[in-house]
Amino acid sequence: MSKKGSFWDNPFGGLFDFNGDGKEDIGEQWFAFKMFDEITKTEDDGVGSIFGDSNVNYNWRNNVEEDYEFGLDTYDYDTEEEYNEALEEAKYGWRKTAEEGYEFGLNPYNFETEEEYNEALDEAKHAWREKYEEDYEFDLDPYDYDTEEEYNEALDEAKHAWREKYEEDYEFDLDPYDYDTEEEYKEDLEDTKYGWRKTAEYIYELDINPEDYETEEEYREALVQACSDYGYDFSDTGELVKNDDAEEEIKESDYPNKRQYNAAVALSEHYFANTSEEYEEKEKSRYRFILEQNDKIIAANYLTAYGYFLFSQAIKDNFDVPVTLPDEDESKEFPLEEILKKIHKKDVPLTLKIWDWCIEQFLPYADYSLMGREEMTNCLLDSLYIFSDKFHKSFREYLNDHADFRTKLVRQSKEMPNNLSEIIVNMIIDGFTKTAKAMFDDGLFRSEGKWKQVNSFMDGLIFYSKNYEELETIEFVEQNFLPKIKQFSDGMILDEVEGWQQEITEYKQEVERRSEKYAFSRSNAWRKTVPDGSKYGLEPRYYDTEQEYLDALQKKKYAWRDWAVQRDTLGLDLTQFETEEEYTEAWQSRYDEQQAKKRKEQAKQRETELLTDKTIYTYCGVMLPFSEQPYFFRTDDTTLKIGDRVIVPIGEENKEMQGTIVSIGQYARIGTPYPPKKTKFILRKKSENNA
C-alpha cells in the first residue's frame, strides 16, 4: 500500500480529485478507470491503450531498398504490404493497358518489362514480312507496311493499276476488272472488236480491205458506197459483176437528201454476198421504209441507209434549241445521250420534252435501226449519272406525270436498264409511290421472268433502299414488291426470298438501333416509358432492348447491395431497402442498438468481475527509453523494488526492452490502473549477470 502523499494517493496526478481533499480515493480512481477503459476500448479490446504498447513496427523499412527507378520511398507507406503493392503496380502496371497479343500467342504477364513485351509483339506482328521479298516490278517493299493485308492490298492495286486506263466497254461487254493482266484484256478486246474481219472478204476490184475499218458496219457501208461509185453488184453466187446501167438509173439529184439517195442505191444494187435471205430482206425493208415513208413518218426521214437515226438533225429541224448541234445528212455525228446532256445544261424541261418526243416518234420504228432502241432507252437511262441533280429531280417528276413515256421507256427498252432499281427507290423517296409501283411492274415485264434479271432487279431495290437514315422506303419495298416476287414459280427466284427478307429485317433492326429518328419510336418506343436512369448515368438509347436497359438499371440501382452483403448485415434483409441511404440508416440504427446492448452487458460483466475478484495484483510503473511516462506491468516477484532494472515485452511482437521500475503498488481488482488480463508481465530482473 502507498503512503499518504505518495504516487498512489494521486495516481492520475490529481486530475480526478473531485472533492479537493488532496488525494484520489477509490471512487475517484474507479471513475478514472472507467473513463480510460471507454477511451482505449476497441472491437477486439486490444491495441491502442495508453497503458499498452502504442508504437507501430516500421522495422520492415530496413529490410527493403529504396526503389529509385520507380520513384518509391518506403517512408511514404505505413506497412510493407502497402509498399510492395505500390512497387508491384509501378513495375507491372503497364501489363493492364498493354496491347493484347493473344493473336500472336503473347501474354504481357510473361514479360518483366514493357520494352521486352513491345519488342516481342512488334516482331510477331511483322513476322509475315519474311514470306515476301521486295517486289521490284511494282516497287513495293513489305517493310513499308504494318500488316500483311495492307501490303497485299497495295500489291493488288499496283498489279491492276492498268485498269484505270480503260473504261468498261459496254459496246463489247468487256470489263477490265474481269482480267488479271492488261495483255489478256487487250487480246479479248482486239478479238471482240475485230473478230468480224476473219469472215469478211477483201474485195480486190473495189480495193475494200476489212483491215482498213474499225467496225463491220463501216466496212459494209464502204462496200455499198464503192459498189455504187463504180457500178458493181453481186451475182446470185456472190461474185462481183459490173452493172453498166447503175449510174444511169439512179441519180443523186433525184432525191431530197443523201439518206434517200443511199437507200435507193442500196435497194437497187447492193445485196451482201454470203448473207442469209432473212438478213437481206431486213436490209431491204429498211431501204424501202426510208424511200416510201420519209414524207409521212419523221423516223423514216432521219434514218440512214446504214441503220442510224440522225437525232441531231431531227431535233434541229423540229425544235428551237439553245445550243449548237452538228449537221447530219447521211452519217451520225452526235449520239442522243450527248445531245440531251448538252441541252439540259441550258433548259431541263426542254430536254425532257425532246426525249419524250424521240420516244414517241422514233421508238415505234427502232427495229429498222442499229442501236436506236438502246440509244433512246436503257443506254440513256444508264448514263443518267452524268446529268445534274436538278435534272434527276425533274426527270422523276416527268415520269410521274407522263405514264405513256414512262411505260415505253422501260417496257420497250432493248434490255433491263441497270439503274431502274435506283430510279424506282428515288421515286418512293420523292413520294411518287403509285408511279414506283407501276415502274416495278414495268421492270418485271421487261425481265420476262428470267431469274437472273429478276434477282438482280430485287437486289438493287433493297440495296438502294438501305440509306441508313429511314425505314419507310425499304418497308415500302418489303410490303409492295416482295409479295409479287414470291408469286414466281422459278426456284432460282424463290430460293432468294428468305435471304431478301432476312436482309430487310436485319437492316430495319440496325437502323432502329442506330438512327436518332427511331430512338424513341417503333421497336424503341419502350425508351419513353422506362424509369429514368440518368441519376445512374444510364441512357435508354444506348440499349437495344428494354430488358437490357432494365437489367442495367437494376444493377446500377442496387450496386450498393453487392458491397453491403460482404459485411455483417446485422440480420437486415437487403431486398427490403430501395436505396443505400435507407439501408445505411437502418443498419446504423441496429448497430447502435446492438452496441448499446453489448456495452451494457460488458459493463455488467465487468462490474461482476470487479465485485467477485478478491485477488491482490502487483503493478510496477516502468520507465522506458522512448517514453516520458511510465508503462504499467504486472509481476509476481516480491523481490522487485523501485530502481530495479527489468526486461519487459514491447509491442505486438513482444520485443524485449530494458526499463527502470519507478513505482510499485498492490491493488484489488477494482482499483488496478489497467485491466489485469490486458497487462503484460515483467519478464525478468536485469542484473550484472543477465541480459
Angle ∠(400,403,409) on CA atoms, nearest 5: 100
State the CATH number of the domain containing residue 639.
3.40.1440
Residue 272 has pLDDT above 90, yes or no: no
Contact 288, 354 (CB under 8 A): no
Residue 13 has pLDDT above 70, yes or no: no
For 161-177, what is each residue's pLDDT tens digit? 877 777 765 566 778 88
Contact 67, 87 (CB under 8 A): yes
Residue 435 has pLDDT above 90, yes or no: yes
The residue with greater pLDDT, 632 or 70, is 632
Contact 208, 234 (CB under 8 A): no
What is the reported pLDDT for 342? Answer: 95
What is the reported pLDDT for 86? Answer: 82
CA 617, CA 11: separation in Å to the nearest integer? 16
Residue 259 has pLDDT above 60, yes or no: yes
Share of the chain above pLDDT 70, in %: 85
Is 249 within a domain?
A: no
Number of Cβ within 10 Å of residue 22's Cβ equals: 11
CA 61, CA 624: separation in Å to the nearest integer? 23
The residue with greater pLDDT, 398 or 77, is 398
Contact 646, 658 (CB under 8 A): yes
Question: How many domains, the chain?
Answer: 1
37-41, 156-160, 382-386, 392-396: least confidently modelled range:
37-41
Span 648-671, average pLDDT:
92
Residue 592 has pLDDT above 90, yes or no: yes
Residue 61 has pLDDT above 80, yes or no: no
Burial category of 670 from C-beta neighbours within 10 Å (exposed 0-12, middle 13-18, buried 19 and up): middle
Span 185-208, average pLDDT:
76
Is 638 within a domain?
A: yes
- Average per-residue pLDDT in the chain? 84
Q: Work out the pLDDT band at 633, boundaries 50, 70, 90.
A: very high
Is 609 within a domain?
A: no
| Phi, psi dihedral angles at 530 (to 5 degrees) | -75, 160
Residue 46 has pLDDT above 70, yes or no: no
What is the reported pLDDT for 53? Answer: 44
For 472-531, what is each residue's pLDDT tens digit? 999 999 999 999 999 999 999 999 999 999 999 999 999 988 888 888 888 888 888 999
What is the reported pLDDT for 4? Answer: 44
What is the reported pLDDT for 184? Answer: 81
Q: How far is CA 99 from the centre of its chain?
A: 20
Is 477 within a domain?
A: no
Is 654 within a domain?
A: yes
What is the reported pLDDT for 29? Answer: 67
Is 623 within a domain?
A: yes
The three cell numbers locating residue 346: 441550258
What is the reported pLDDT for 183? Answer: 81
Is 387 within a domain?
A: no
Span 327-352, average pLDDT:
94
Amino acid at position 148, single letter: E
Residues spanned by the domain of 685: 614-691
Is 269 within a domain?
A: no
